[in-house]
Amino acid sequence: FRKQNLNPRELAKKICNGNTIALSRAITLVESTNPEHTEKANEIITACLPKANKSIRIGITGVPGAGKSTFIESFGLHLTSLEKKVAVLAVDPSSSISKGSILGDKTRMEDLVRDRNAFIRPSPSGDSLGGVARKTRETIILCEACGFDTIIIETVGVGQSETAVHSMVDFFLLLKLAGAGDELQGIKRGIMEMADAIVINKADGDNLKPAKKARAEFARALHIYPPKESGWIPKALVASSINGSGIDDIWKLIEDYKENTFASGYFNTKRMEQQKFWFLQTIEERLKTNFYQNKTIKAALKEKEKALEAMEETPFKAANELLNLYYNL
Amino acid sequence: FRKQNLNPRELAKKICNGNTIALSRAITLVESTNPEHTEKANEIITACLPKANKSIRIGITGVPGAGKSTFIESFGLHLTSLEKKVAVLAVDPSSSISKGSILGDKTRMEDLVRDRNAFIRPSPSGDSLGGVARKTRETIILCEACGFDTIIIETVGVGQSETAVHSMVDFFLLLKLAGAGDELQGIKRGIMEMADAIVINKADGDNLKPAKKARAEFARALHIYPPKESGWIPKALVASSINGSGIDDIWKLIEDYKENTFASGYFNTKRMEQQKFWFLQTIEERLKTNFYQNKTIKAALKEKEKALEAMEETPFKAANELLNLYYNL
């Protein structure tokens, strides 16, 4: 179909009929900074909403080198072999093909790219995490409306983006490698507490034994953590993307999680809470932007920061003076 | 001296000369909701600022029953025996004497209360954590100006308050008990990652063996965590407030921490970051309050929340419509 003839209603209809070309077109509108495109995108999303929300959303994080791409390819192919329809998205605010972004280079997932039941989309570009996260959230809705029942969202576990991804998925998986010191490097504090499962990846050949040892260590550590709100106790597993061992177990674990949290009602409660989180988050981000981007405030802020560094004022007094200035502008 | 004659400058001078009656009076002004008192308090704090900031600030948290009061008494008495001047404050937004608040009932620290080198002040009242946190931060400044070199801030580790306390101290200590299931109950997720040390308390009598076992478990778990920004690897210890064992080790550990982070410059960097955190936090809190307390917004917010629950709108669209309404008021 020709680009010129696309109106939002038609696109939405095609998406809901499983047309992935229409899906790609709509995602391009979602990612565009052109206000006309944004308006069209909003119409499409609103039309798709009733068909969305029927999937399992899985977040996958891990430092560069943890083998995310090969893991996702192996995991994705396993899922399509079970007749799942798999969409793979990414949240990586710094992403660009030249920087070797995860999904930018689709050749890393050669077989999955060719799979008719898989849909792979690189991370949208954008310098603000908020912007990238919004685009990915909206893309999830479109993918679900298009019939994808398993949404995988990949992120690099070194910045703030994994917190954003954690807030848009049902199940959060942390990929790790066995090996001296690796447990202690690269991964930001707090990520371990977000994980519903930790997978020690590349558990094959000479690496199998250290991987199993690392798995046992993590299992012990996870056991000591307070339980998650879901009542779920995070699990530690090993997997190999090369020989495929462990991949099936991970999927069974996720199905188990879905069944459990569906039965308890937690699954839907969490999705509702995530909706509300993004709603309030968007509001608060814009309130802050409006304040901090104000020219008068910008200048006054610098002065106040100097006063704070020189210990001439308390943070509370400085803040209140700035706010009084803002509300009297 | 008589209440009537107190002017802020005189009070500040007395505080800087180590007068604890003046200190108490000033704290009462800090805690007051009377705008005239707030203004006086601000003057006093500003005058005290150059004398503040020279101390070690220690946060202590743990669930009710972990033995915080007896631990702090034992720890505080050890510090005064080393000729330290110790101020004990608390952050507990729900605190009131009738609810059996930690420091409300000073009889729990009978000996420390009578110690001339100790100053104990219960948690200020207030229903917002932000308000209580501000009052405590300002009280820290006054205590330091008055010559207290060791500031202990106690909080109950079950709510949001421990995050606030973590953001106002140099060293954060988590008190725990050994015993089946205790490791898994009551303590909020995320607290363990904040701790610079975990102390298994009540390690005496029949409890000594399980306490040592718990210590070993936590040591293993802490080791698996990613390192803290400070480079510090959190430690696990045992202590008994009854027979005093381990108390000395904890103080040595804290001194070690101070020495290390002073040498690396992290100690001061962290304090500067905390100043900035409270500055921006105060700004953002008031921006939010201004928005959410607005009558028109309140009504519109309810409508939007309904639309979100019914899946009729995306969080982003709903948020943006609300913001457009707000900025056109």
Question: Is A329's Cβ below 8 Å from some Cβ in B?
Answer: no
Say what angle helices B266-292 and B129-145 make with each other, to 10 degrees: 140
pLDDT of B248: 97
pLDDT of A4: 54
User: Does B323 contact A218 at a Cβ distance shorter than 8 Å?
Assistant: no
Taking only the tens place, the pLDDT of each residue in B7-49 is 999 999 999 999 999 999 999 999 998 989 999 999 999 999 9
User: Does B221 contact A218 at a Cβ distance shorter than 8 Å?
Assistant: no
pLDDT of B21: 95
Residues 34-53 of A with CB under 8 A from B: 42, 45-46, 49-50, 52-53
Name the stretches of chain A with pLDDT < 70: 1-5, 94-107, 127, 157-159, 180-189
Q: How near does any CA of chain B get to the CA of A243, in Å?
A: 28
pLDDT of A128: 78
Terminal Cα-to-Cα distance of chain A (whole angstroms)? 52
Taking only the tens place, the pLDDT of each residue in B87-107 is 999 887 764 433 434 454 455
pLDDT of B162: 84
Mean pLDDT, all residues of chain B: 88
Contacts of B284 (CB under 8 A, 6+ apart): A284, A287, A288
User: Does A316 contact B226 at a Cβ distance shorter than 8 Å?
Assistant: no
pLDDT of B107: 59
User: Does A49 contact B313 at a Cβ distance shorter than 8 Å?
Assistant: yes
Residues 184-213 of A with CB under 8 A from B: 184-193
Mutate to test the interface with B, among A196, A268, A287 (most CBs of B within 10 A): A287
pLDDT of B223: 76
Q: What are phi and psi of B100, to 5 degrees?
A: 75, 40
User: Does A305 contact B276 at a Cβ distance shorter than 8 Å?
Assistant: yes
Alpha helices in A2-128 (DSSP H): 8-16, 20-31, 35-48, 68-81, 110-114
User: Does B305 contact A276 at a Cβ distance shorter than 8 Å?
Assistant: yes
A172, A16, A167, A152: which is closest to A87 by C-alpha?
Answer: A152
Residue B201 forms beta bridges with which residues?
B177
- Reading the block at residue B44, the tokens are 């006093």
The distance from CA A105 to its chain's CA centroid, rounded to whole angstroms, is 18
Mutate to test the interface with A, among B224, B301, B302 (most CBs of A within 10 A): B224
Question: Is B279's Cβ below 8 Å from some Cβ in A?
Answer: yes
Check pLDDT > 80 for residue B224.
Answer: no
Rounded Cα–Cα distance for residues A70 and B239 (Å): 48
pLDDT of A182: 47
pTM (predicted TM-score):
0.76
Cα torsion B112, B261, A64, A137 to 10°: value is: 50
Cα torsion A271, A275, A281, A284 to 10°: value is: -140
